[in-house]
Chain A
Amino acid sequence: MVMEPVFEEMEEPRIGVYVCHCGLNIAGSVDCEEVTKFAESLPHVVLSLDNRYTCSEQGQEQIKSDIKEHNLNRVVVASCSPRLHEPTFRKACEDAGLNKYLFEMANIREQCSWVHLHDRAAATEKAKDLVKMAVAKVALLRASEEMEVPIIRRALVIGGGVAGIQAALDLADTGYKVFLVEREPSIGGRMAQIDKTFPTMDCSICILAPKMSDVGHHPNIELISNSEVVGVSGYIGNFKVNVLKKPRYVTDDCTACGDCSPICPVIAPNEFDVGLAVRHGIYTPFAQAVPSTYIVDMEICLNKEGVIVCDKCIKECEREAIDFEMKPETLELDVGTIIVATGADVFDPSTLKDYGFGRYHDVITSLEFERLINAGGPSGGHLIRPSDMQIPKRVAFIQCVGSRSERSDKKYCSNVCCMNTIKDSLLIKEHWPETEIYVFYVDIRAFGKGFEDLYRRAKTGGVAFIRGLPAEIIEDRVDHKFWLIGENTLLNELYKINVDMVILSVGLEPQKDSDVIQRLLTLSRTQDGFFMEAHPKLRPVDAATGGIFFAGCAEGPKDIKDSVTQASAAAARSGILMARGRVTVEAITPIYDLEKCTACGLCTKVCPYNAVTLDKDLKRVDIVEAACGGCGTCAAECPFGALTQNHFTDTQIMAQIDAVTENDPEKKIVAFCCNWCSYAGADFAGVSRMQYPTNVRIIRTMCSGRVAPKFIERAFARGAGVVLVAGCHLGDCHYIDANYQTKKRVERFWKRMEAKKLDKERLQLLWATAAEGEKFASKIREIHSMLDKIKPKEIENAKKVFKTALGGS
Chain B
Amino acid sequence: MPLRIWREPLDIDKVEHPEAEIHIIKERCKGCNFCIAFCPMKVLEESDEINEKGFHPPRVVDESKCVLCSFCSAVCPDFAIFVIEKAAETSEEEAEEIQLVEVAR
Using a CB–CB distance below 8 Å, which chain A residues touch chain B? 262, 265-267, 269-271, 273-278, 302, 305, 307, 309-310, 312, 345-348, 350-351, 358, 361, 365, 367, 378-379, 384, 386, 389, 506, 509, 511-512
Contacts and interface: CB of A to CB of B under 8 A. Distances in A.
Contact of A302 (B2, B7, B16, B67): B67
B2 A278 contact: no
Contacts of A506: 3
A224 B39 CA distance: 35
Given A265-B68, A309-B38, A309-B40, 13 more contacts: A262-B16, A265-B17, A265-B67, A265-B69, A267-B12, A270-B9, A276-B7, A307-B38, A345-B2, A348-B2, A348-B3, A378-B11, A386-B7
Nearest to A509: B2
Given A265-B17, A267-B15, A278-B15, A302 B6 contact: no
Contacts of B4: 348, 350, 358
A550 B92 CA distance: 66
Nearest to A506: B3
Contact of B7 (A267, A309, A361): A361
Contacts of A307: 38
Nearest to B40: A302
Contacts of B41: 302
B10 A274 contact: no
A358 B4 CA distance: 9
Interface of B: 1-7, 9-12, 15-17, 38, 40-41, 67-69, 71
Contact of A367 (B3, B68, B69): B3
Contact of A310 (B2, B6, B16, B69): B69
A309 B66 CA distance: 13
The list of the 8 closest CB pairs from A to B, nearest first, reads: A265-B67, A275-B5, A310-B69, A302-B40, A345-B2, A348-B1, A309-B71, A278-B9
Contacts, number: 78
A292 B1 CA distance: 30
Given A265-B17, A265-B69, A302-B69, A350 B6 contact: yes
A793 B67 CA distance: 89
Nearest to B74: A309
Contact of A275 (B9, B69, B71): B9
Contacts of B3: 274, 345-348, 365, 367, 506
17 contacts: A265-B69, A266-B67, A267-B15, A267-B17, A269-B9, A271-B5, A274-B5, A275-B6, A277-B9, A278-B15, A302-B69, A302-B71, A309-B71, A347-B3, A358-B6, A367-B3, A511-B2
Contacts of B38: 307, 309
A367 B3 CA distance: 9
A345 B2 CA distance: 6
Given A265-B67, A309-B40, A310-B71, A276 B2 contact: no
B6 A512 contact: no
Contacts of B71: 302, 309-310
A275 B2 contact: no
Contacts of A271: 5
Nearest to A371: B10
A367 B69 CA distance: 36
Contacts of A350: 1, 4, 6
Contacts of B67: 265-266, 302, 310
A502 to B, nearest CB: 14
Contact of A379 (B10, B16, B40, B68): B10
Nearest to B6: A358
A278 B11 contact: yes
A310 B40 contact: yes
A347 B1 CA distance: 6
A276 B11 CA distance: 8
Nearest to A512: B2
B15 A275 contact: no
Task: Say what secondary structure dominates the interface of chain A.
Answer: loop
A271 B2 CA distance: 12
B101 to A, nearest CB: 24
Contact of A389 (B10, B16, B69): B10
A266 B17 CA distance: 9
A501 to B, nearest CB: 14
Contacts of B16: 262
Nearest to A372: B10
A379 B7 CA distance: 15
Nearest to B18: A265
A10 B102 CA distance: 107
A302 B7 CA distance: 23
B10 to A, nearest CB: 5
Contacts of A358: 4, 6
Given A348-B1, A348-B4, A512-B2, A309 B9 contact: no
A216 B40 CA distance: 37
Contacts of B12: 267, 278
A277 B10 contact: yes
B1, B4, B15, B17: most-surrounded residue (chain A CB, <10 A): B1
Contacts of A309: 38, 40, 69, 71
B84 to A, nearest CB: 15
B49 to A, nearest CB: 26
A408 to B, nearest CB: 10
A276 B12 CA distance: 9
Contact of A386 (B2, B10, B68): B10
Contacts of B5: 269, 271, 274-275
A273 B9 CA distance: 9
A350 B71 CA distance: 41
A480 to B, nearest CB: 15
A390 to B, nearest CB: 12
A379 B17 CA distance: 21
A725 B9 CA distance: 59
A276 B68 contact: no
Contacts of A262: 16
A266 B38 CA distance: 16
A266 B67 CA distance: 8
Contacts of A367: 3
A354 B5 CA distance: 19
A386 B10 CA distance: 7
Contacts of B1: 347-348, 350-351, 512
B6 to A, nearest CB: 5
Contacts of B69: 265, 302, 309-310, 312
A85 to B, nearest CB: 49
A527 B99 CA distance: 73
A622 to B, nearest CB: 40
A553 to B, nearest CB: 13
A278 B7 CA distance: 11
A351 B69 CA distance: 40
A305 B38 CA distance: 10
Contacts of B40: 302, 305, 309-310
A477 to B, nearest CB: 20
Contacts of A512: 1-2
Nearest to A511: B2
A273 B11 CA distance: 11
B2 A378 contact: no
A509 B9 CA distance: 25
A305 B69 CA distance: 15
B17 A277 contact: no
A512 B11 CA distance: 29
Contacts of A511: 2
Nearest to B71: A309
Contact of A346 (B2, B7, B9, B17): B2
Contacts of A269: 5, 9
Nearest to A280: B15
B4, B9, B16: most-surrounded residue (chain A CB, <10 A): B9
